[in-house]
Copies of this chain bind each other. A is one copy, B any other.
Amino acid sequence: MSEQALRETIRRVALEAKQAARRLAQASTEQKHAALKAMADSLRAARQEIASANAADVEAARQSRLPSAMVDRLILNEKRFEEMVASVEAVAALPDPVGEVIRKWKRPNGLSIEKVRVPLGVIGIIYESRPDVTSDCAALCLKSGNAVVLRGGAEAFQSNRAIATVLQRAISRAGLPAAAVSCLPTPERAGVDLMLQMDDAIDVIIPRGGEALIRKVVETSKIPVIKHAKGVCHVYVDDAADLAMAQRIAFNAKCQRPATCNAMETLLVHQRVAPQWLPPMVRQLQQAGVEIRGCERTRALVGGLTAATEGDWSAEYLDLILSVKIVDSLDEAIEHISRYGSAHSDAIVTTHHARAMRFLHEVDSACVYVNASTRFTDGFQFGLGAEIGISTDKLHARGPMGLEELTTYKYIVFGDGQLRE
């Protein structure tokens, strides 16, 4: 496609989404519910159509020798397909966040002010590989009254387009505008850059993916961005910890699902308990296949470990690798997290109340834990019912983002002739 044609195409998609957003903002809970049910039913009915598109993507990915982990994320097998449809049904069953009166008050001059929850408008989502993200995001945005413009990875282009086409037909049959959900109509990289310039049509960009993707989006976008960036999560084992509990928590935080952003990447241990606690902990982790990269003191305590470099302290491994550091105090632990962490999720294990409270208040992360695994940072685990991701930003939404975080508010003011004096 020529650059001019590409610009016009992307512009049309964005403006149609904006029109759709105006109608969606006025849609009733019942209308949105009907559309979501239709979306789930249509996905089930179009199973073969979607499977063929997905097979084409997977075949192309194999031929172009994509890493097998990426090919794996691309595959929409039977189980994943069912989970994808169930997830749309689950979103349908959630309460509608739109229209909630967040606060209401009256002024001395008689003005009555309501702060009311409303949709954001048009949400742009930029993501990689997994095609089930397409229908997840579509469902969450529609439920919260937003239109969505989706841009998945080029390698999942056929799958995403097939899913979006099915969803559009369903939405349209349910009486809402098909443009409530759209995919960029081309896998070209230039399409994203153009999309990120359309600040008169798109209200917010949510990038989900690796560091390079997110940095590029932040640098290019004229539209406000809510980053879903990396998680360099810590567990700090205090000298007053229940040591058996500390071992269970550290093991769970590292090994239960190491490829997630809320998995532990660095273990901090108070020097007083390190000699007793660390060697068996390291052995347990090694038996589970974890490679340990230790500070000097850790290596003096446990033989045969790789030395952690400066880069290890800020690395997000997303893998069975763990950096371990022995610290002299709670202060040193907090300093380390402040310096190297990514303000995502950090935990302390301790029985000492005052130290727990210091950690919880002084570690400036989206989620801080005492005596629990960092793996709980998740919209479902938090009870939000769903999540579009985990924000590592401080503005608008922090931590797990559910339906409420996909809304904003407006002030509705009722008067009877009030004038400003």
State the CA gap A36–B214 with chains docked (Å).
Answer: 39
Q: Is the CB of A394 within 8 A of B120?
A: yes
Q: Is the CB of B252 within 8 A of A394?
A: no
Stretch of A42-50, A177-185, A409-417 contacting B (4+ beta carbons < 8 Å):
A409-417
* Binary interface encoding of chain A residues 387-417 relative to chain B, with 1 for a CB under 8 A from any of its CBs, else 0: 0000001111011000000001111111111
State the CA gap A368–B409 with chains docked (Å).
Answer: 12
State the CA gap A113–B380 with chains docked (Å).
Answer: 13
State the CA gap A26–B121 with chains docked (Å).
Answer: 36
State the CA gap A420–B262 with chains docked (Å).
Answer: 11
Q: Is the CB of A376 within 8 A of B417?
A: no
A371 at the interface (CB under 8 A from B): yes
A173 at the interface (CB under 8 A from B): no
A245 at the interface (CB under 8 A from B): yes
Q: Is the CB of A252 within 8 A of B420?
A: yes
Q: Is the CB of B364 within 8 A of A410?
A: yes
Q: Is the CB of B248 within 8 A of A417?
A: yes
A296 at the interface (CB under 8 A from B): no
State the CA gap A370–B362 with chains docked (Å).
Answer: 45
A329 at the interface (CB under 8 A from B): no
State the CA gap A81–B105 with chains docked (Å).
Answer: 33
Residue in B107, B248, B365, B372 whose beta carbon sits within 8 Å of that of A410 in the complex: B365
Stretch of A129-137, A220-228, A273-281 contacting B (4+ beta carbons < 8 Å):
A220-228
A303 at the interface (CB under 8 A from B): no
Integer count of this chain's copies in the complex: 2
Q: Which residues of B contact A257 (CB under 8 A)?
A: 420
State the CA gap A398–B224 with chains docked (Å).
Answer: 14
Q: Is the CB of B219 within 8 A of A222?
A: yes
* Binary interface encoding of chain A residues 103-128 relative to chain B, with 1 for a CB under 8 A from any of its CBs, else 0: 00101000101000010110000000
A242 at the interface (CB under 8 A from B): yes
Q: Is the CB of A368 within 8 A of B105?
A: no
Q: Is the CB of A368 within 8 A of B248?
A: no
Q: Is the CB of B371 within 8 A of A419?
A: no
Residue in B113, B203, B373, B413 whose beta carbon sits within 8 Å of that of A418 in the complex: B373
Q: Which residues of B contact A394 (CB under 8 A)?
A: 120-121, 203-204, 408
Q: Which residues of B contact A284 (CB under 8 A)?
A: none
Q: Is the CB of B113 within 8 A of A382?
A: yes
Q: Is the CB of A396 within 8 A of B396?
A: yes
Smallest CB gap from A338: residue in B: B22
Known contacts: A204-B395, A249-B419, A420-B376. The answer to whether A412 contacts B226 by CB under 8 A is no
| Additional 19 contacts, C-beta under 8 A, given A372-B414, A372-B415 | A22-B364, A26-B362, A111-B372, A218-B222, A224-B225, A248-B417, A249-B419, A256-B421, A367-B411, A368-B410, A368-B412, A371-B417, A372-B416, A373-B419, A373-B420, A382-B411, A396-B396, A398-B409, A398-B410
Name 28 interchain pairs, CB-CB below 8 A, sorted by A. Answer: A22-B338, A25-B364, A26-B362, A107-B382, A111-B372, A113-B383, A120-B394, A224-B224, A248-B417, A252-B419, A364-B410, A366-B411, A367-B411, A368-B411, A368-B413, A369-B413, A370-B413, A370-B415, A371-B415, A372-B415, A372-B416, A372-B418, A372-B419, A373-B419, A375-B420, A376-B420, A394-B408, A395-B408
